[in-house]
Chains A and B, each alone.
Chain A
């Protein structure tokens, strides 16, 4: 009677599809808005400021900010996609169905995080395509570029998933992205090289995990980095491991999911 239970792939697919359908239903929001905001960044930073800065590390300023810009959106969108996807059913109560379904925690994670990560990867690529209209781009290490893209999307979708489970109110849902992630991203070297900072700030910046993501990502484009690529990759994996550990704990205890 106790046969080993088969994984419920159909459930993973069902959840994933609903998550993707949500993105396509709000296609205006999901595609048009990043295109517009990216264009604005280029107008403001690329043209207005860039005309004075010229080059950083031998890269035209407009091109220099592209990886940081992608990371900025990737981080915030991964978090908001995943946190909302799990918070919403919790909020309206429809989560009962997920909890009563024959799905494992791992399957729930794969479906929700997979859906959120897919959306933000698509978003990253849209931004890249938009940027290509404004500045000449080159990608020296395409494999690593994709690897950083996927790794970051998955890690921060996982992080968003944790926030979505933790949050009890909409305010809490916004809190972490607003108070922690956005500042860290802006201070993470999206728009400048950390070598441009005065001494003490350069050291402080090294405690900001986002610095490593952006630096590694920029290296995959131009072969130039603020910190070594190995360290970048290592830091990303450490953060991923922390998120996985938290999620494992949440699911072991049913934290804020099952009373």
Chain B
């Protein structure tokens, strides 16, 4: 059994009658970093909340390390740490008190050294006696992470952890995520910063309108869906794309100085060579050329758009 979380046939209809999750089947592998991508309102937070026990599912089942989240909720929940999307902390507690409280709540024996280490790792140690209300937004975010890590979870959910976080802290956070992964912690994150999923994740799942529309190894996904673009910088501006080149999907930039050719990376005959020959035949000269893979973001936007 390699998957640590197994979600099968999970649906959620809120009291308002809104069907937030249609039928989710998803396995998270032990020790991986899994990025869940989806537009606003796709159902990411709903899905995470169900696994963590905050929201009741309408049907289906979920196991965490083999423990059913309803029947065996103690065993399941004690493995999970959650950093929610919203900053929600008791503003009048000190950092130290609130992190130790979290540890106790999850049934772990007091361990001052461990809690100190967590706070130091998150650069919160100097703030340990401060009340949460006096912290900046980024510090509060780190405090939420500290609370989740205080009870030594084996699975960590990060629901948009870098929303409203500056570049430096974001770097620190990803360094922390990598360290946790090295310790064998499974990490599931949602993010709107697709470059982060691209940089961090082992696998990517895309959710839209309550349905998982794709789960793929990240590298595989990039390869499979990757489109490539070739940009040509022209010596002389063009007024229009000549008729002889109409069979290529070409785009002319404003001012006519740049031609962009988008092609399928997977194809045996991407048409790059013939395009260059045809350009020459048409008497179009270029100064420079570069090619790039489309990013996960573009892939993602395409996927979500394709949905009816």
Contact = CB atoms under 8 A, between A and B. Distances in A.
A8 B107 contact: yes
A180 interface: no
A168 to B, nearest CB: 13
Contacts of B173: none
Interface stretch (A92-100, A114-122, A153-161): A92-100
B41 interface: no
Nearest to B157: A100
Contacts of B109: 10
A247 to B, nearest CB: 18
Contact of B14 (A8, A102, A259): A259
A101 interface: yes
Interface residues of A, number: 33
Contacts of B147: 97
Contacts of A3: 75
A11 B106 contact: yes
B54 A11 contact: no
Nearest to B109: A10
A254 B73 CA distance: 15
B93 interface: yes
B84 interface: yes
B56 A254 contact: yes
- Give the size range of B's interface with the partner: 35 or more
Interface string A34-61: 0000000000000000000000000000
A99 B72 contact: no
Interface stretch (B96-104, B207-215, B267-275): B96-104
A258 B56 CA distance: 6
B144 to A, nearest CB: 9
The DSSP consensus for interface residues of chain B is loop
A113 B114 CA distance: 31
Most chain B CB within 10 A, of A3, A6, A22, A103, is at A103
B89 A94 contact: yes
Interface in A1-44: 1-3, 5-6, 8, 10-11, 13-15, 17-18, 21-22, 25
Contacts of B66: 1
Interface string A78-105: 0000000000110011101111111110
A149 B55 CA distance: 38
Contacts of B103: 14
Contacts of B184: none
B105 A103 contact: yes
Interface string A158-169: 000000000000
Interface of A: 1-3, 5-6, 8, 10-11, 13-15, 17-18, 21-22, 25, 88-89, 92-94, 96-104, 254, 258-259
Given A11-B104, A103-B105, 13 more contacts: A2-B72, A5-B72, A14-B105, A15-B105, A18-B90, A18-B93, A92-B88, A92-B91, A94-B90, A96-B88, A100-B52, A102-B74, A258-B56
